[in-house]
Amino acid sequence: MKLYNFFIKYRFPLGVVTLILAIAANIVWSFWPSLALYIIAVVAIFTHFFIGPLRLIQEYLEGGDFEGAEKVLNGIKYPALLYKPIRAVYYTLKGNIAMTNQDFDSAEKHMRKSLDLGLPMKEAEGANKLQLGMMAMQKGNMKEGESLIRQALRVGIPDKESAAMAYLQMCQIMMQKREFRAAKDFFKKAKAQKPSSDQVVSQIKQIEKYISRMPG
């Protein structure tokens, strides 16, 4: 595994060196003895631009090293050359890291790009739409926020904590619109997720004080 990661990290310079060796072998001997070197060089250089180092980024993220993941992402100089589904994931990761850095404008820009490209996994699409919906709500754009959160729930959200947040947000939207029956329904769905994070549990406790008093 470490050898494979080493190859991913250094495959472009390795590909260039192999290409130089292939050309030298071609000059000294002939084309056929250098063919294997040409193939290795082309594969290394092609995959560097077409697939990128997303495997390395995943390992950094799993280890909680967002700074390391950001450095790898910043090393991708030509994202337009990435395979389209991988490019969508690239912009999703850029958006997520921008969120951790509280750079919400960049986060929104990158997440919209990933959605425009079409994410390969529906769960990732749901998570993106939820984050965009939350940002729209923070900016006071209630209509767009509600639409995006509904889309996120329809597509599917990968984890119960995020799903609970989405249902709670919809509950609050319905409360503001005085659609109390819908608000109660969304609140029940939020509790059914059985969230454990302090933030979501606190929100549930706060809303629970008022939800039983509502008509409907």
Query: Residue 112 — very low, low, confident or very high, per pLDDT cuts 50/70/90?
Result: very high
The mean pLDDT of 91-112, rounded to a whole number, is 92
The C-alpha atoms of residue 15 and residue 45 are separated, in whole angstroms, by 5
Query: Residue 186 — very low, low, confident or very high, per pLDDT cuts 50/70/90?
Result: very high
pLDDT for 213 equals: 83
Is the pLDDT at 1 greater than 80? The verdict is no
The C-alpha atoms of residue 173 and residue 143 are separated, in whole angstroms, by 10
Q: Which 8-state DSSP code applies to residue 139?
A: T
The mean pLDDT of 113-133, rounded to a whole number, is 89
Query: Residue 124 — very low, low, confident or very high, per pLDDT cuts 50/70/90?
Result: confident
pTM of the model: 0.84
The mean pLDDT of 100-105, rounded to a whole number, is 89
How does pLDDT run across 56-77, given as a tens digit for each residue? 988 888 888 889 999 999 999 9
Which residue, chain included where needed, has tokens 């060089």?
Answer: 41
Distance of CA 50 to the CA centre of its chain: 18
What residues does each domain of the chain span?
144-216
The mean pLDDT of 140-166, rounded to a whole number, is 94
Angle between helix 122-138 and 104-117 (nearest 10): 140
Per the structure block, which two tokens stand in for 86?
């991988």
Per the structure block, which two tokens stand in for 112?
């919209």
Percent of the chain at pLDDT above 90?
78
Please provide the DSSP assignment of 126-179 as one string. HHHHHHHHHHHHHTT-HHHHHHHHHHHHHH--SSHHHHHHHHHHHHHHHHHTT-
Amino acid identity of residue 189, one-letter, is K
pLDDT for 216 equals: 65
